[in-house]
Copies of this chain bind each other. A is one copy, B any other.
Amino acid sequence: MRTLSATGAVGSPADQATVRRLNLGLLMRSLAAGGPRSRARLAEDTGLNKATVSSLVTELVDRGLVTEGIIQRRGVGRPGRTIEVNVGVVRCIGLELNVDYLAGVITDLTGRVLARRRMSLPMLDLGPARAMGQVAEMAGELVAGCGATPNQVQTLHLSLPGLIDIDAGVLAYGPNLRWRQVDVVHTLMGRLRWAGTRIAVDNDANLGAMAEYASGPSAGSNNLLYLVGEIGVGAGMIIDGRIVRGATGFAGEVGHMPIGDPTVQCGCGRRGCWETAVGMNAVVDAVSADRGDRLREGDMTARLAEIVRRAEAGDARTLAALTSAGRNLGVGASVLANLLDPEVIIFGGHFAALEKYVADAVSAEMRSRVLGGEVMACRIEYSTLGFEAPALGAAHAGIDSLINDPTLVLVAQ
């Protein structure tokens, strides 16, 4: 007989080290969410006793994760120092590689962006080896750009569009990049040779979801879906406070739900896939006057700006195309809402840039299609993090790993 654990209970013995690791994480999460506080207040807020808090704080100071801040005088007692997340030592890098650009941020442990880079790059022409060279180069620039040194960089996470084998650190297949079996993590380790940096890779949808969870308007929503759409459409899913990856790591492939126009052929060979109705190419096709339309050229940002310009000018073809895309977005979002009952579905990528012209149609479809009515009230939001979301989420993936297990950070020498 197999026993299902409602709490995701540990499968290994718990001991004193487990207790300490869990409590270090509890203290760090409390500090990250609630800001600087005295030891006494931290004890109150976490339920840990004062002696334990003091011992844990000493360890966190040694690891460079917290500092003692300004002196606070409260009443007649001995003045105490507030404890706060150390913004001065640990650095986390998040990068996003997509078909025609590379973007990156470097943050402190609170998620504040200290430097950012973005460059257009034709990845199809570069190929994976040279592209990884560019990634490593940008990582170095980010470190230099904020006056840090590589040994401060505890984590580097890279976002890629495609199917990722997280455990192996490999891009299994990136259909739009046309890359297969790229050993991302070891390549970057070899190029950077930063001994203390943990390197990882994940897909853009998962990392976009993490960015929203960390710092978007719905931060902390434990059931949050993030839809990223450019050429393809993918979903990053946080369910019960955890990223859902599936049995083989490939969860989130929503672009080929057969809910589009069954006469339209998709790049995958099938007909009626959702992304043929809502992907960026579908929107461009519907808005374009003819094959020579300049919408079909240039980078994503420029093309989106042109679509918005035409909509603002009241171009009937454009407005009709965006309303239709909005309806189809709403149909797909309602499938996800009925299946997963999230608190919020957040549209990222080009959807967010087109909010003004798709939102009414999306809402109308959601109202008529989501079951459970007012009880199951799934909100729709449009990402305010823009195209930086996956890079920011990549930095947060690193931050989260350190905050949940502070023992990953070696004691400063």
Contact = CB atoms under 8 A, between A and B. Distances in A.
Interface in A257-285: 257-259, 268, 270
Nearest to A344: B247
A343 B400 contact: no
A339 B252 contact: yes
Interface string A360-403: 00000000110110011110000000000000000011011101
Q: How many copies does the complex hold?
A: 2
B219 A247 contact: no
Interface stretch (A15-23, A305-313, A315-323): A15-23
Nearest to A331: B258
Contacts of A331: 258
Given A251-B339, A376-B250, A400-B6, A1 B369 contact: no
A185 interface: no
A65 to B, nearest CB: 13
A371 B256 contact: yes
A340 B14 contact: no
Interface in A226-244: 235, 238-244
A76 interface: no
Interface in A147-175: 163, 172-173
A332 to B, nearest CB: 9
Interface residues of A, number: 92
Contacts of A222: 247
Interface of A: 1-16, 18-19, 22-23, 25-26, 28-29, 32-33, 46-48, 52, 110-111, 163, 172-173, 210, 213-215, 219-223, 235, 238-254, 256-259, 268, 270, 331, 335-336, 338-343, 368-369, 371-372, 375-378, 396-397, 399-401, 403-404
Among all A-B residue pairs, the 7 with the closest Cβ atoms: A246-B341, A2-B220, A251-B341, A253-B338, A223-B247, A14-B22, A247-B343
